[in-house]
Chains A and B, each alone.
Chain A
Amino acid sequence: MSEPALLALHGLSVALPVWADRERAVSELSLELRRNEIVCVVGESGSGKSVLARAIMGLLPAPHVRVTGGRVLFEGEDLLRAGPERMRAIRGARIAMIFQEPMTALNPLMTIGRQIEEMVEIHLALTRRQRRARILALLEEVRLADPQRIMRAYPHELSGGQRQRAMIAMALILEPAILIADEPTTALDVTTQAQILALIKELQRKHQTGVLFITHDFGVVAEIADHVAVMQHGILVELGAAAQVLNAPRHDYTKSLIAAVPALTPRPRREMEAAPVLLEVSGVMKTFGTGAAWFARGDRRVHAVKSVDLAVRRGHTLGLVGESGSGKSTLARCIIRLIEPDAGTVRLGGVDLSALSRRQLRPHRKHIQMVFQDPFGSLNPRLTVVQLIAQGPITHGVAASEALAIARELLQLVRLDPAAADRFPHEFSGGQRQRIGIARALALKPDLLVADEPVSALDVSVQAQVLQLLADIRDRLELTMLFITHDLRVAAQVCDEIAVMHHGEIVEFGPTIDVFADPQHAYTRELLAAVPGRNWIPPQLQR
């Protein structure tokens, strides 16, 4: 603590507009960031962590959200009192920022090289040749292969990981004293995330940068943090060294957050042979894109699912694990025939669903139901909750009054207040909506529940509750589940068996406990090695 802080926040408060649900986004927050140190700011959505980052940079969406008090001392200078001219000189050059979604954070109509060059251009007087040399050097440093090509490329021509590397190069090109990273790996796949985290850490050590790293993921915190600041409703509830906060949290909120992180230890083995096979998928294939159009040449087809075989026993949960683009959602949609597979058969309880026509399939639909990822987009905003849930049974011939009664019961089952039955989806939080989605799926008493990333859009504490709910319901109703996820921690908690998908193929399939203990395929090993904070075992805490 001998060195003075690079950045010191003293009693920083940020006001929200009057129509917001609380008065302040950030309240009386004090925090220090030193050279060559990574401070992680952790919190759930709405905790004010992103507002904090923007407040430091002077990028709050004025006039609605504004700083109302405190000081932001950067190398002794109060940034809240700096004029716009001075702030522009600091932004980019002395304090740089990287963002969550590199696709939208980059201008789609400008080449990567041009966007980085712009940064150099406005802060330094260099010739074009010098600028380009510097950019090429840095692109190499963030380990982008073929930097010449990257410079000429547009954002959409790169992968997510490459884009984030380019963003990092852009942020670091002027050797800023501070890098503010706002959830920089949240939008990335787990293997890419591991690489980007390693890169940030490496460059930070090399350039002695102070990094303010904003995240919601304790795994990521365990991976890179030196110090941790935990935020709740705009208030800093706990601040301390990483090891202390992660392993011996003091504040109740921190404890509850850490307790909600799913452990990377798989479910114990259950008797596999006893139950009959409910779902049997064999040789399912799906190719997207069409062949040649009139007078056109060539085709652009994507083989989303290549000849997949699967079997799920009654009462078991199969996890379909893979990164984005691996074809796991497409496979799920083929199974419930939201999209038509090109080939293969899907048998549910002995009935060959794939052989049925759309009309013949209709009475069988109720046996498979789906829970979707997006709790906001998947519920019709014009229907009340009870109507949403009752719709399925009514379509399948249950009398309306009876269906509505079932719907109210289900609300209780998913632990929502039955008094909420006549309200509309927008009046609920994300976690509550996901409960509604589950109730909707259960209303038809399905044999098989297909859950497509049901907790990915939720905060960790809500995620834990929804997972708990799913587990309870599954045990009580003896449901069979196909659980799609990209998160190995979640898969470990929920699934009896795991199928790892990669490029449309299942590369490994077996009991979760075996797959985790002794992964056979190289890709599975890569996935397991990339789980952030895999070496950190969350302490057993009393909640």
Chain B
Amino acid sequence: MAIGPGTILYVVRRLLQAVPIVVGIVVLNFLLLQLAPGDAATVLAGEAGGAPPEYVAQLRERFGLDRPMHVQLLLYVKNVLTLDLGYSFRNSMPVSELIFGRLGPTLLLMGTTLIVSVLSGVLLGLVAATAVNTWRDRVISVAAVIAYATPLFWIGLMLILLFSIKLDWLPTTGMEDVVAFNEGWDRVLDIARHLVLPTLTLSLFYMALYTRMMRAAMLDQRGMDYVVTARSKGLAERLITYRHVLRNAVLPVVTMAGVQVGSLLGGSVIVESVFAWPGLGQLAFQSLFARDFNLLLGIFFLSACLVVLVNLIVDLVYLVLDPRIKLG
């Protein structure tokens, strides 16, 4: 596949097509949040240990919560379209500033998780499939089932218990040691050490899934006619596996990984909470309980954009991997 003007045109078109989708999501999110009981005013009042109704009404007026819903919605959509995500009264900061501060850590966690889970899943699946029905295959398959079935937060807690508390090898919380004031490579190393446990926790489930998919895809592809052709050409089995089967088998795994980026975001809410990782997931969790709807909507909006973007990237990757796919 050549990246030419056609590809750029395609990307631009896909981005344009994404606009109505994202707006739709924004509207839907807004309406869904209206269903939740209470608002920021009641929470603020509640935290102050109770407040007179006049004060709550005053708060509502200040936040614009007293206006009719459709007016609020139109106003919000209009603001979003001009990339103004509003103000978080809870944190006393513009939402965009809050979110973008947290975006980096989340992307870091998601990115490493994605890479680790896909690479190790593909690798383990490959090993299992090339040694099908031997002890290697069985160990990998059983481990994959266990990892698949175990809840995320429990894995996280157990990993903390083992590696941080018992062995004291790795830090448990945060993204870096803020009081150490590391710089340069020391800081990178420090972040990497903090990254190990959350990544491992979040990766295990997906790794198990990809391992199973890869194993199945490899076995499936090995039964295909082109493999017989390759044998009839006199190719050695290793060459057939690596040159012919592997690439064909990776395709479904890539598709799946692309689809699951969205759920990876969901999974990061739990993992970020367990490991106090200063990312979007944690922020979403806090803002939900504070009824900080502006902030929550902002996070949702960003997540939607992220998923749309990742899907586009996956499609482009697919274009490189599979020559049968045409831009359209």
Contact = CB atoms under 8 A, between A and B. Distances in A.
Interface in A91-148: 91-93, 96-97, 99, 101, 104-111, 118-119, 122-123
A87 B236 CA distance: 10
Interface string A287-318: 00000011110001000000000000000000
Interface stretch (B85-93, B158-166, B280-288, B316-324): B316-324
Contact of B225 (A96, A99, A110, A170): A99
A109 B247 contact: yes
A89 B233 CA distance: 9
A478 to B, nearest CB: 46
Nearest to B322: A109
Contacts of A218: none
A122 B232 CA distance: 12
Interface string A173-196: 000000000000000000000000
B1 to A, nearest CB: 10
Nearest to B327: A296
B13 interface: yes
A59 B324 contact: no
B179 interface: no
A296 B229 contact: no
Nearest to B251: A109
A105 B234 contact: no
A106 to B, nearest CB: 6
A337 interface: no
A119 B247 CA distance: 19
A305 to B, nearest CB: 24
Interface string B218-248: 0000001110111111111001000110011
B234 A88 contact: yes
Contacts of A105: 225-226, 228-229
Contacts of A109: 247-248, 321-323
Contacts of A108: 226, 248, 322-324
Interface in B199-228: 224-226, 228
B244 A295 contact: no
B178 interface: no
B36 interface: no
Interface string B237-277: 00100011001100000000000000000000000000000
Contacts of B248: 107-109
B17 interface: yes
A413 interface: no
A107 B232 CA distance: 13
Nearest to B12: A295
Contact of B244 (A88, A107, A300): A107
Given A99-B229, A101-B225, A154-B323, A122 B235 contact: yes
A22 interface: no
A104 B226 contact: yes
A93 B234 CA distance: 8
Contacts of B17: 293-295
A123 B322 CA distance: 28
Contacts of A269: none
B234 A92 contact: yes
B328 interface: yes
A479 interface: no
A156 B226 CA distance: 13
B167 interface: no
Contacts of B16: 294-295
Nearest to B221: A107
Which of A88, A93, A170: most chain B CB closer than 10 A?
A: A88
Given A59-B228, A105-B226, A107-B230, A295 B13 contact: yes
Nearest to A106: B226
A92 B233 contact: yes
Contacts of B225: 99, 101, 104-105
B233 A119 contact: yes
Contact of A91 (B234, B321, B324, B328): B234
A118 B224 CA distance: 18
A57 interface: yes
B234 to A, nearest CB: 4
B231 A122 contact: no
A197 interface: no
A110 B228 CA distance: 15
A474 to B, nearest CB: 39
A91 B232 contact: yes
Contacts of A99: 225, 228-229
B226 to A, nearest CB: 4
Given A105-B228, A106-B226, A110-B244, A122 B234 contact: yes
A6 interface: no
Contacts of B236: 88, 122
Interface in A152-181: 154, 156, 167, 170
Interface in A37-59: 57, 59
A90 interface: yes
**Most chain A beta-carbon neighbours within 10 Å: one of B226, B232, B247, B322:** B232
A109 B322 CA distance: 6
A90 to B, nearest CB: 7
Contacts of B234: 87-93, 119, 122-123
B324 A296 contact: no
Interface in B284-328: 321-324, 328
Given A295-B16, A296-B328, A106 B235 contact: no
Nearest to B247: A109
Contacts of A156: 323-324
Task: For the complex of A and B, list the 5 residue pairs with the smallest distance between their C-beta atoms, beginning with the closest.
Answer: A92-B234, A91-B234, A104-B225, A92-B233, A97-B232
14 contacts: A91-B233, A93-B234, A104-B225, A107-B230, A107-B244, A109-B248, A110-B244, A118-B235, A122-B235, A122-B239, A156-B323, A170-B233, A295-B16, A295-B17
Given A88-B235, A90-B234, A106-B226, 9 more contacts: A57-B231, A89-B234, A99-B228, A107-B244, A109-B247, A110-B244, A119-B234, A122-B236, A293-B17
Interface of B: 13, 16-17, 20, 224-226, 228-236, 239, 243-244, 247-248, 321-324, 328
